[in-house]
């Protein structure tokens, strides 16, 4: 802006100075001419008085002897007869011409005084003529020739050539000073607070508009900042990884999860991660892709998409979702289906075969009780399996009934009483010790945990043997322990015994659904507890469960 103001002021100064110079030259020229014409008029009037007062005889003498004395040497004097013929010419004494058609001569005969100006383009001069009519009818004319205005200007080119640089320099300095004087207050305006300092009132509407725009921009910036913070908070809490790049390949956004998944630095390029770079490059080409990636034991689904705007690719994005649990759940469903099919096939086959034999009439009367026993036993086994499947499904889907304060010791005592006869038949000593221990849980889940642990301890034991159950509360923890001296579990199988339908007895000599310990694990997990296994083949097994105690006081009880 300063340069534009400087150029404008400089141009104005040059124009004004040029106009002043030209006007001054012309004014001086006109003043000089007016003075010259006045002088001619004075001279011609003086000479006319002398010639009019002289007698006829004296006229010739004056003309011959004294006219040169009366007129200046730089003025041409002519006496012109009434018929227009030149009687006397001080400049051209020997030239005889007729000037009757000259303007000044015609005006002198008509008005007594005549004036004319004649220009010579060849000589670049102009001649001023003043004529007066004498008493004898003759005309006295005085003429003076000098350079024309154009000729005078040409003669002044040299002085002007010296003056022009001076004028330009002066204009330059003046323009610089004025532009600085104008621009400095404008530059001092604070764009953030334009109304605090208004150097020129003419700028007030502009500065008020600027202040309104500042307020609008500030409001929009605050809203944008709020949205950015919300987006950052949302993206930071996302478990999914999100990477976005511009169509130039420059990253525009990467959240924390994506940096961890793809192992990206704070500043990265598409080449820092080969798989990510390939996905983004293909997405920038307009393709949509989906693949998987395994990182530190987790499986991620990678979805690459181009970002379109007005049919033009603005950028690309890659979304990484953790599908480990989803794939694991799918695997478990497939495994569960296969296991259920396998586990139900055997009892169904036994039931079907026994029923066919009974219906065919081929079974002897003495053998009928045996075959009906098969059917009853396998039907009970299937019923127990279905019940366990339903219970396990409820635990896995976390469809838990409302929790309540439960005394683990009382439930243990009830379960021990229920299985006391079975233990006695198997030659197993079943005992319980401990005291009241209150937890917040579903009583059915606690009952299921104790039932399955005690049944397994009896089932996988040999006479004479023992199963000891203990329940104790210490501070904020309730400890439940089921210990036996049975066959034990091999170390390589201890991690798998909590899987559904898995049993350490590959021979299946000990009848069971294979779901008991899976139910135990899910129930304890849902209660926020822990389960620990200590077992050695041939020496027995000990399950230790810890649960969070409920703040409820009660009297100690013993078995």
Q: What is the CATH number of the domain that holds 531?
A: 3.30.565.10
Q: Could you tell me if 351 and 410 lie in one domain?
A: no
Q: Could you tell me if 306 and 428 lie in one domain?
A: no
Environment class of 484 (CB within 10 Å of its CB; exposed 0-12, middle 13-18, buried 19+): buried
Q: Are strands 289-295 and 312-322 parallel, antiparallel or unpaired?
A: unpaired
431: left (phi over 0), alpha (psi -120 to 50) or beta: beta
Rounded CA-CA distance 84/139 in Å is 9
Q: Could you tell me if 151 and 91 lie in one domain?
A: yes
Tell me: pLDDT of 554 over 60.
no
Q: Could you tell me if 429 and 468 lie in one domain?
A: yes
Q: Could you tell me if 349 and 406 lie in one domain?
A: no
Given 98, 121, 155, which residue is the final one in a domain? 155
Rounded CA-CA distance 404/100 in Å is 146
402-440, pLDDT tens digit by residue? 678 899 999 999 999 998 998 998 899 999 999 999 998
362: left (phi over 0), alpha (psi -120 to 50) or beta: alpha
How is residue 388 written in tokens? 């366990």
Q: Work out the mean pLDDT of the chain and round it to a whole number.
A: 79
Rounded CA-CA distance 287/554 in Å is 68
Tell me: pLDDT of 331 over 80.
no
Structural domain includes residue 149 = yes
Q: Could you tell me if 332 and 406 lie in one domain?
A: no
- Determine the pLDDT at residue 501: 65
- Determine the pLDDT at residue 432: 93
Structural domain includes residue 222 = no
Structural domain includes residue 136 = yes
Banded model confidence at residue 113, pLDDT cuts 50, 70, 90 = very high
Structural domain includes residue 183 = no
221-270, pLDDT tens digit by residue? 888 888 777 766 766 667 778 888 888 878 777 887 887 777 777 676 66
Residue 407: name the closest of 452, 324, 472 by CA: 472
Largest Cα separation within the chain, whole Å, is 202
200-214, pLDDT tens digit by residue? 777 788 878 888 888
Rounded CA-CA distance 496/521 in Å is 11
Find out whether 127 and 143 touch, Cβ atoms under 8 Å: yes
How is residue 378 written in tokens? 């396998």
Structural domain includes residue 226 = no
Residue 371, classed as helix, strand or coil, is helix
**429 vs 193, 362, 445, 451, 465, CA distance in Å?**
91, 44, 25, 16, 6
Rounded CA-CA distance 45/47 in Å is 6
- Determine the pLDDT at residue 342: 65
| Domains: count for the chain | 4
Beta bridge partners of 76: 143
Q: Could you tell me if 349 and 490 lie in one domain?
A: no
Rounded mean pLDDT, 363-389: 77
- Determine the pLDDT at residue 559: 35
- Helix, strand counts (H, E) of the chain: 15, 17
Q: What percent of the chain has pLDDT over 90?
A: 12
CB-CB neighbours of 537 under 10 Å = 13
Rounded mean pLDDT, 186-207: 77
- Determine the pLDDT at residue 154: 66
Banded model confidence at residue 130, pLDDT cuts 50, 70, 90 = very high
383-401, pLDDT tens digit by residue? 777 776 776 666 666 555 5
Banded model confidence at residue 86, pLDDT cuts 50, 70, 90 = confident
Rounded CA-CA distance 370/373 in Å is 5
Beta bridge partners of 432: 469
Q: Could you tell me if 334 and 425 lie in one domain?
A: no
Residue 446, classed as helix, strand or coil, is helix
- Determine the pLDDT at residue 514: 66
CATH number at residue 120: 3.30.450.20
Banded model confidence at residue 149, pLDDT cuts 50, 70, 90 = low
Query: 331-336 long-range CB contacts below 8 Å, 24 or more apart?
Result: 332/500, 335/500, 336/500, 336/501
Q: Could you tell me if 441 and 538 lie in one domain?
A: yes
469-491, pLDDT tens digit by residue? 999 998 889 999 999 998 888 88
Q: Could you tell me if 315 and 243 lie in one domain?
A: yes
Q: Could you tell me if 97 and 141 lie in one domain?
A: yes
Q: What percent of the chain has pLDDT over 70?
A: 82
How is residue 415 written in tokens? 């379960």
Look-up: residue for tokens 């798998």?
496
Banded model confidence at residue 343, pLDDT cuts 50, 70, 90 = low
Q: Could you tell me if 411 and 544 lie in one domain?
A: yes
Structural domain includes residue 217 = no
Q: Are strands 76-80 and 86-89 parallel, antiparallel or unpaired?
A: antiparallel
C-alpha R_g of the chain? 63
Tell me: pLDDT of 556 over 90.
no
Residue ranges making up the domain that contains 144: 2-155
Residue 153, classed as helix, strand or coil, is helix
Structural domain includes residue 215 = no
Rounded mean pLDDT, 172-199: 76
Structural domain includes residue 364 = yes
Rounded mean pLDDT, 130-152: 82
Rounded mean pLDDT, 113-138: 84
Residue 303, classed as helix, strand or coil, is strand
497-526, pLDDT tens digit by residue? 777 666 655 444 445 556 778 878 888 888
- Determine the pLDDT at residue 153: 64
């Amino acid at each position: 802006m300063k340069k534009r103001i400087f150029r404008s002021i400089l141009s104005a100064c040059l124009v004004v100075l040029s106009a002043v110079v030209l006007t001054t030259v012309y004014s001086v020229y006109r003043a000089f001419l007016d003075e010259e014409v006045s002088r001619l008029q004075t001279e011609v009037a003086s000479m006319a008085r002398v010639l009019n007062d002289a007698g006829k005889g004296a006229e010739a003498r004056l003309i011959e002897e004294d006219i040169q004395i009366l007129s200046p040497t730089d003025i041409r004097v002519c006496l012109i007869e009434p018929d227009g013929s030149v009687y006397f010419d001080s400049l051209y004494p020997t030239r005889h011409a007729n000037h009757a058609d000259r303007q000044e001569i015609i005006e002198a005969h008509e008005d007594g005084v005549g004036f004319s100006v004649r220009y010579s383009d060849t000589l670049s001069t102009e001649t001023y003529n003043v004529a007066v009519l004498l008493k004898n009818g003759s005309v006295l004319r005085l003429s003076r020739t000098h350079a024309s205005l154009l000729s005078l200007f040409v003669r002044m080119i040299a002085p002007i050539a010296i003056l022009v640089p001076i004028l330009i320099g002066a204009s330059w300095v003046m323009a610089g000073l004025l532009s600085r004087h104008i621009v400095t207050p404008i530059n001092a305006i604070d764009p953030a607070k334009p109304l605090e300092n208004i150097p020129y009132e003419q700028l007030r509407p502009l500065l008020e508009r600027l202040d309104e725009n500042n307020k609008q921009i500030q409001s929009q910036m605050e809203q944008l900042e709020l949205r950015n913070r919300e987006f950052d908070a949302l993206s930071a809490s996302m478990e999914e990884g999100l990477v976005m790049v511009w169509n130039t390949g420059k990253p525009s956004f990467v959240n924390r999860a994506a940096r961890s998944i793809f192992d990206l630095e704070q500043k990265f390029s598409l080449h820092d991660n080969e798989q990510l770079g390939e996905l983004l490059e293909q997405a920038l080409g307009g393709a949509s892709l989906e693949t998987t990636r395994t990182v530190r034991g987790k499986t991620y689904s990678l979805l690459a998409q181009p970002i379109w705007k007005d049919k033009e690719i603005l950028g690309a994005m890659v979304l990484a979702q953790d599908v480990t649990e989803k794939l694991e759940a799918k695997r478990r469903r497939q495994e569960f289906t296969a296991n259920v099919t396998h586990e139900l096939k055997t009892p169904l086959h036994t039931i079907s075969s026994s029923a066919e034999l009974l219906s065919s009439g081929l079974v002897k009367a003495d053998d009928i009780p045996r075959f009906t026993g098969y059917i009853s036993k396998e039907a009970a086994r299937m019923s127990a399996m279905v019940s366990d499947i339903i219970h396990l499904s409820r635990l896995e889907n976390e469809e838990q009934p409302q929790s309540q304060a439960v005394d683990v010791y009382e439930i243990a005592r009830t379960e021990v009483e229920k299985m006391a006869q079975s233990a006695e038949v198997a030659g197993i000593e079943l005992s319980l010790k401990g005291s009241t221990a209150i937890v917040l849980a579903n009583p059915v889940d606690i009952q299921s945990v104790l039932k399955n642990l005690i049944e397994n301890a009896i089932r996988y034991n040999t006479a004479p043997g023992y199963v000891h159950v203990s329940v104790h509360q210490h501070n904020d923890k309730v400890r439940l322990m089921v210990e036996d001296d049975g066959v034990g579990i091999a170390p390589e199988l201890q991690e798998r015994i909590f899987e559904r339908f898995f049993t350490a007895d590959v021979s299946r000599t000990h009848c069971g659904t294979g779901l008991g310990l899976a139910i135990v694990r899910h129930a304890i997990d849902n209660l926020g507890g822990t389960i620990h296994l200590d077992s050695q083949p041939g020496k027995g097994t000990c399950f230790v469960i810890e649960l969070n105690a409920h703040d409820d006081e009660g009297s100690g009880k013993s078995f």
